[in-house]
Amino acid sequence: MKQVFIKQGQAVIEELPAPQLEAGTVLVQVSHSCISTGTELSGVKSSGMPLWKRVAEDPTKIMKTFRMVADKGLGYTRDVVQGAMSTGTPSGYSAAGTVIAVGADVAGIHVGDRVACAGAQFAHHAEIIRVPINLVIPIPPSVDFSAASTVALGAIAMQGVRRTNPTLGEAIVVIGLGFLGQLTAQMLRLNGCRVLGLDLDPKRVQLALSFGMEAALTTENALDEVKRLTDGVGADGVIVTAATSSSEVMSTAFQMCRRKGRVILVGDVGLDLKRADIYQKELDFLISTSYGPGRYDKQYEEQGLEYPIAYVRWTEARNMAEYLRLIGTGHLQVVPLIGRIFPVDDATAAYEALQHDPEKPLIALLSYPDSASARAQQHTVSNPKASPKAQDKVRLALVGVGEFAKGVHLPNLVALADSYAIHAVMSRTGHNAAEVVRKHSAQYATTDIQQVLSDSEVDAVLISTRHHLHGSLTLQALQAGKHVFVEKPLALTLDEMNAIEAFYQASTPSPVLLTGFNRRFSPYAQRLQNLLQDRREPIIINYRMNAGYIPLDHWVHGAEGGGRNLGEACHIYDLFTFLVNRKTKAVTAHSIAPSGGYYSARDNFVAVITFEDSSIATLTYTALGSRDYPKEHLEVYAEGKALVMEDYRQLRAYGVPNADFQTKSTEKGHRQELEAFANTIQQGGDWPIPLWQQLQATQIAFEVERQL
């Protein structure tokens, strides 16, 4: 299918695999999508800036970059940044079309329904889109697809009006009469308000007057005109729908208001506010957040949680529905505001027109073919520039290509090109897969896991999805006869782990399974094992992980991540198993009891593992510490030796002459684990990690989780 991306200062059209249907979502064949002249054109401009300028304009990015360099190294940071820049950004957040598939847990929407869709994560400029149910609204019979495709912008305008809380007879000024401003002026008029408008473009002013705006203000005398038109009182309220970096717009808005008036910001303007503009008149300043309540709430938008109407009368979905109803009744005039409609193949020209055309339209739409072609619905897209198919290498399929896979695994796979050939890339987002395929000359991109599993030319899969999919995808791949490298954790449930174990009990010979417990492959862990291999006595291991705080609404803590014990501490349980090389005898865990809701017991705990030889390993895992303190610290006490490893950069061996070791950067074994995986597949022999040890690390994590 075709989809529009913003890349390096321009809009480009790419051929991608169609999205797969998921529970709680619908697939929509798009008829029209709406190009936002504000948000999207701003994205085009920023994407064309040099990297240094983009970073300089956002200080938070500077700090994030420094922290990534300190934690992951310069190479990892460089690869992540370059990957993000080359991939481009999916564009669009407002569209309309016909439902072609309905997922589980979806009620009230059926195949064939005409719907409008919103959401920058979902309603892209693409032939087929996958949208969660709370962002899908049926279109009234009297509304055509072109008008309905503006639904997101309509909801934005409506939320701005609702935040204003207008009453009959009030004088409200609208600053900025672009598409949002035109809709805002019409909605205020429907509320019985006197609408005054201000814009630099006289054509926009005349258009607003033709739809019932009471009076136009001039930029030279706007403040005096507002006073005159309101009998010296001032405006009851001002809605700012303009887009400019200047802060003077806000100053003007405040000065227009009467005492106790209010200003509502819908657009994107400078916010260097002056206290004197606000203080004496005790003005209210409100921000209007996009489509309405529910926006930026993942539980609402992505998980289908609905807000009770008795407590939240107007959600973003209800705003969208009311906007479409007003169009259908004729109370809102939208069609005359639509400047031009471009076929999707001319998307680049559409963006150019919105930026540079002297007769710049208020808004432009993209149109799509009437019926979804077989090509558009394909879930696999071949790469015409693929490298010749490899015969003497491990032909690898990547399943999931998020930030970690791009920043860590892909650079290592490139470095190991003598052992690996990237054959295919599968991702739930087709653009991610397609970009990696192009960059690494793979054979095809797909959104269909079955395509990968049924491909006889795929020797192995590398699974790097979010954690909740690891167990099921691993089992499917093993059953398909593929060797599997699965990022940690191996599984999030005991049932999934047991199913994998049962597979190996019933299958001989079996594919190789490697869970991405990379730390045991680091040169530090290997050296530690060598120093301990001849021991006769039990050992004591103390490990401290200053993991850093992650907000509790992050996916890592939720159902997709399983929490930090299952998702990260499992690394250390494997390292303990590797160094002791015995089965466990007992596991105990104790956590803090937070006094508030900021910290969690599940990422602030101490776990103690006792092994069959009476060795003891203790993990202190905490999110309470400072990021300025080193993240990982290991101490091993064994037969007159004290071995201390600091952040996989330095090892000091007390009681062992000439055994100290250090590296310039952090070495956690990511490349070495891939080397070991390829060697086992190609040459046979022992697995990189015995199955019982992979299962034991996972079992320890489950037991710690149970006790937490």
In DSSP notation, 467-489 reads GGGHHHHHHHHHHTT-EEEEPSP
Q: Which of 9-23, 66-80, 446-460 has the lowest mean pLDDT?
A: 66-80
Q: State which residues form the domain around 280.
A: 160-287
pLDDT of residue 8: 76
Residues near 357 by beta carbon (within 8 Å), at least 6 away in sequence = none
Region 568-576: mean pLDDT is 98
Query: Are 524 and 669 in the same domain?
Result: yes
> Is 66 a domain residue?
yes
Region 522-546: mean pLDDT is 97
pLDDT of residue 698: 98
List 659's β-bridge partners, or say none.
Answer: none
Q: How confident is the model at residue 5 (pLDDT cuts 50, 70, 90)?
A: very high
What digits encode the pLDDT tens for the residues 389-423?
988 999 999 999 998 999 999 999 999 999 999 99
Please check whether residue 424 is in contact with residue 442, taking contact to mean a CB–CB distance below 8 angstroms: yes
> Is 374 a domain residue?
no
What digits encode the pLDDT tens for the residues 633-654?
999 999 999 999 999 999 999 9
pTM: 0.89
Average pLDDT, the chain: 93
Please check whether residue 260 is in contact with residue 281, taking contact to mean a CB–CB distance below 8 angstroms: yes
How far apart are alpha carbons 648 and 630 in whole angstroms?
10
Could you give the 3-state DSSP secondary structure of residue 513? strand
**Order of all β-strands in the sheet with 171-175:** 215-217, 194-198, 171-175, 235-240, 257-265, 284-287
pLDDT of residue 68: 66
pLDDT of residue 438: 94
CATH of the domain at 465: 3.40.50.720
Q: Where would I find the H helices in 165-274?
A: 179-190, 202-210, 222-229, 248-256
Region 42-59: mean pLDDT is 57
Amino acid at 480: A
Residues near 374 by beta carbon (within 8 Å), at least 6 away in sequence = none
> Is 155 a domain residue?
no
pLDDT of residue 152: 97
Query: Are 425 and 534 in the same domain?
Result: no
Query: Are 38 and 119 in the same domain?
Result: yes
Query: Are 670 and 682 in the same domain?
Result: yes
Region 472-489: mean pLDDT is 98
* Token pair of 61 as six digits: 């990015």
Question: How many structural domains are present in the chain?
Answer: 4
Query: Are 124 and 239 in the same domain?
Result: no
Residue 686, number of CB atoms within 10 A of its CB = 8
CATH of the domain at 24: 3.90.180.10
Q: How confident is the model at residue 265 (pLDDT cuts 50, 70, 90)?
A: very high
Query: Are 476 and 344 in the same domain?
Result: no
Q: How confident is the model at residue 357 (pLDDT cuts 50, 70, 90)?
A: confident
How far apart are alpha carbons 649 and 652 in whole angstroms?
10
Q: Which of 42-56, 137-151, 388-402 has the lowest mean pLDDT?
A: 42-56
Region 532-552: mean pLDDT is 96
Residue 450 reports pLDDT greater than 80: yes
What digits encode the pLDDT tens for the residues 197-251?
999 999 999 999 999 999 999 989 999 999 999 999 999 999 999 999 999 999 9
> Is 578 a domain residue?
yes
- Rounded (10°) CA dihedral 263, 267, 271, 275: -10
Identify the domain boundary among 480, 515, 550.
Answer: 515
Residue with token string 């006073």: 227
* Terminal Cα distance for the chain, rounded: 47
Query: Are 406 and 420 in the same domain?
Result: yes
* Token pair of 584 as six digits: 């466990």
Query: Are 507 and 624 in the same domain?
Result: no
CATH of the domain at 694: 3.30.360.10
pLDDT of residue 426: 97
